[in-house]
A and B are shown apart, each in its own frame.
Chain A
Amino acid sequence: MKTEKEAEKNSQEIGKEKSFKLKSWPILILGLFILTILVLLSINQVSAVGESFVCAEKTLSGAWCQNVPSNQVDTRFRKASTSCEATAFCRMGTCVNSQEGECRPNVPQRVCQQSNGVWILGDPDEIPQCQLGCCLLGDQAAFVTQTKCKSLSSDYGIETNYRTDVRTETTCIESANPDVTGACVLDDGFERNCKLLTKAECQTLEAGSNTGNLTVEFHEGILCSAESLATNCGPTQRTTCVENKDEVYFLDTCGNLANIYDSAKVNDQDYWTDIKEKSDVCGASGNNAGSATCGSCDYLLGSICKAVERGNSATPQPRYGNFVCADLSCKYQGKDYQHGETWCGGTKSVNQSLPGSEHARFVCYNGEVTVEQCSSLRSEICVQDVIETSGEDFKTASCTTNLWQDCVVQDNEKDCENADKRDCRWLVGQSLLRNEEGVALVVDSEGKLVQKEDDDSRKGASCVPKYAPGFDFWNPESEAEELCAFASDGCVVKFERGVGGAIFGGDYGCKENCECVGLKKGDNMDDANKDSPWAKERNNMCIALGDCGNKKNYIGVQGYHNESVVEIKSIED
């Protein structure tokens, strides 16, 4: 090995003090470099060093209104040597579709004009055409503009009902009460037919009946199967699902909907008389998933009406009918998750933040698990919380930004581990931060980094990322080398031998910084060890900074730079 040969050669020189140097890096310069970048980021600087950025109306890749280097501009379109926000053609505003009554925020002027929209400077809530109100569409509601309401009413083929007095979306949705329903009895003198309709629908039917002997009566809140109405409709054991509703419903002999399926009430005449509220029927507080007896499903609680295959023992079998509250929970890798639950996971070795590992969020909806990868290179991490309930705990997770960028400049434990501001941890051992003379700082009793005093035995500490970020080290423009170099250090170990040793060829004994090579004062130079505790501590710090150091990746493949992380060189005084 080169370093050993050099050491051997140099050892022939006698009577001179020898020193060994591990790596040397301009630590303070790097610290300043990182701080400068942080400042640049904080003032939202667009340009990068050495590149001229312009606002391109269109880029070569086809994107509209982007701040890009001038070589990415499509020269057939306009450009300006300023940020797009400052230009007339690319500044952001609201694009109004006056025909549909839609207001799209954050649209560059050029993009809006390209689509034949009307561009107005400002947010939608500042624009009169974009003021929202409540659009009632049958038994549904939408919080939209008046023009949009007209357009929606036309699309759905229903009358426009727009209310400007409703100011919030929640109130609007709450006001979307369907018309009262009830039995609409059609009596032609021979037979009393019945349909379960809204009052308005029944009145329309009445207005449309131009035959003299047909009478139409509306009985609010009453089912067609009610005995008192004496219609030709009666109870059955048949059930059905209804579009946009969660529950399983009984059907009467005329095919009209009745109340929510409850096997105990199949022959209960009272249950076939009045329309019951959901809160008054079976299993009102639960989701009744898989229940053979109750069809009170609830999507938000994890069940919905679905058809079953009769005789298939793998699916729940209702006592009557062919529909049941299907369970929407999920099974993933042997564990059960509730409908709507989200939890954290990721690739192999994501807990060790090995190169290539990534966080992910798992989502259970409608009995199906989908995986949402967090941003690559661990620039996002997944965080999870648990909501304690009376039944099973409910997990919620989300991908959130990995705030590692300012860890290394924190000089005290409290700031370092302030989870509201950053994702860092306090690693006791050695300090990355140094004083003006280049001497590493030490930790005082309050967890702050302070100047090292003479004969100071206090240890150092460093603030490092809690989740080591990944770097694009394969990219020639990557900052990986500079960022990893922050953990590099030079340690000058001094050895000496006495006059007698110089004359008679005695051994070198360690004099200063002996711990860097795993020695104590006076130990023989030949026992110097590259894998000393000091070196290991330094390597751990290096690994904690990101995809640094020599390690395996997330699938266990060793890094290609397969040399020792510690290098020993000899230098002469």
Chain B
Amino acid sequence: MKRGDTSRSNKRPSQAQSRSFLINQVRGQVTIFIIVAILIVGLALTIYFLRPGATVTSGFNEINPNGFIQTCIEGDIEDAVEVVSLQGGSVEPEHFILYQDDKITYLCYTSEYYKTCSVQQALLKEHIESEIEDEIKDEVVNCFNELKRNYEERGYTVNLQPGNVRVELLPKRVVVTFSHTLNVTKTNTEKYGDIERPFNVILNNNLYELVSIANSIIDWESTYGKAETTIYMSYYQDLKVEKKEQQDGSTIYILTDRNTGNKFQFASRSGALPPGYGVEGVSTN
């Protein structure tokens, strides 16, 4: 390198130097951004977990296995309840009508015109309970296995007896009870899953009330034809009943609890009127 070049280089950096400088500067900025981002996330998490009433729900707690099960399965129960609520009580509807991309089960149906419908799901509450049970049972197995693994990782000897899953629709809540028993031994043996320390999850939901109204509407539809919505709204202040008439004579009923926003929707075809005199006889649905 020539002197002159050197002197010149003292005054002004070479292209390679300036590129290197720029790259370093960019790297430095990126590092700062990453640090700031980590700090922000850390701060947010700290505020979240330290706020009054906050609990760390995702972790495993040796003395509260039911809390672990609740955290593990709650989301699946909520999803199952939502699916059956929007699909007329079934996870995989067999006889349904499509309404706004939802497959809505017919709970009362006749393919004929002028006739009242026949009930298609006799014991709706029990059917819904069984649908939710079926939908969550695989995840329940996974959750209990995960619970067992967590204990074993902490040096416990674990005896897990799998049991049944029971879903009950009750006033203002859905209760899921697991008859599994869990014995964990380290220095002492602790027993969980008995009457004193049962495994259960309680979900606040008004499905019980909405299903009762749905049953009443089905009784009306199967006896007289199309149900009158205002009677239900006059009796129950928090209830909204929507009736959506479809082209083929089917009716979608949407029951909503105005306070909680919980919904139950189902379909019925009763007292359908034909176009013209209706000599085609029946709907092909």
Contact = CB atoms under 8 A, between A and B. Distances in A.
Interface of A: 34, 37-38, 40-41, 44, 46-49, 51, 53, 59, 61-69, 72, 84, 92, 95, 97, 100, 102, 104-108, 111-112, 114-117, 155-156, 244, 246, 299-300, 304, 340, 342, 363, 365-366, 368, 370, 372-377, 379-380, 398-399, 401-402, 405, 469-472, 475, 477-480, 483, 546
A111 B279 contact: no
Interface stretch (B45-53, B110-118, B149-157, B184-192): B110-118
A479 B119 contact: no
Contacts of B112: 46, 66-67
B106 interface: yes
A37 B281 contact: no
Given A107-B118, A111-B118, A479 B276 contact: yes
Nearest to B282: A68
B71 interface: no
Q: Is the interface of A mostly helix, strand, loop or mixed?
A: mixed
Interface in B223-279: 223, 226, 228-230, 233-234, 237, 240, 242-247, 249, 258, 272-279
Interface stretch (B11-19, B24-32, B33-41, B120-128): B120-128
Contacts of A107: 118-119, 122
B170 to A, nearest CB: 5
A95 B122 contact: yes
B109 A97 contact: no
Contact of A340 (B117, B230, B284): B230
Given A97-B123, A304-B237, A375-B272, A64 B245 contact: no
B119 A375 contact: no
Contacts of B96: 62
B245 A479 contact: no
Contact of A375 (B208, B273, B284): B273
B191 to A, nearest CB: 27
B276 A480 contact: yes
Contacts of A97: 122-123, 126
Given A62-B95, A67-B112, A483-B277, 12 more contacts: A44-B114, A63-B109, A63-B120, A68-B282, A105-B119, A365-B230, A372-B244, A375-B245, A376-B247, A379-B273, A402-B273, A405-B277
A68 B111 contact: yes
Contact of A376 (B122, B125, B245): B245
Contacts of A117: 122-123
B276 to A, nearest CB: 4
B121 A111 contact: yes
Contact of B116 (A47, A106, A108, A472): A106
A209 B106 CA distance: 54
Nearest to A398: B228
Given A48-B281, A68-B282, A471 B276 contact: yes
B280 interface: yes
A365 B233 contact: yes
Listed residue (A66, A246, A469, A479) with the most chain B CB atoms within 10 angstroms of its CB: A66
Nearest to B258: A366
B111 A483 contact: no
B275 A106 contact: no
A390 to B, nearest CB: 21
Contact of A300 (B114, B118, B234, B275): B234
Contact of B275 (A40, A46, A72, A377): A377
Nearest to A85: B118
B222 interface: yes
A114 B122 contact: yes
Nearest to B169: A155
A302 B275 CA distance: 39
Listed residue (B112, B123, B237, B245) with the most chain A CB atoms within 10 angstroms of its CB: B123
A61 B277 contact: no
Contacts of A66: 109-112, 118, 282
Contacts of B106: 63
A61 B127 CA distance: 20
Contacts of A106: 108, 116-119, 219, 222-223
A67 B275 contact: no
A69 B125 contact: no
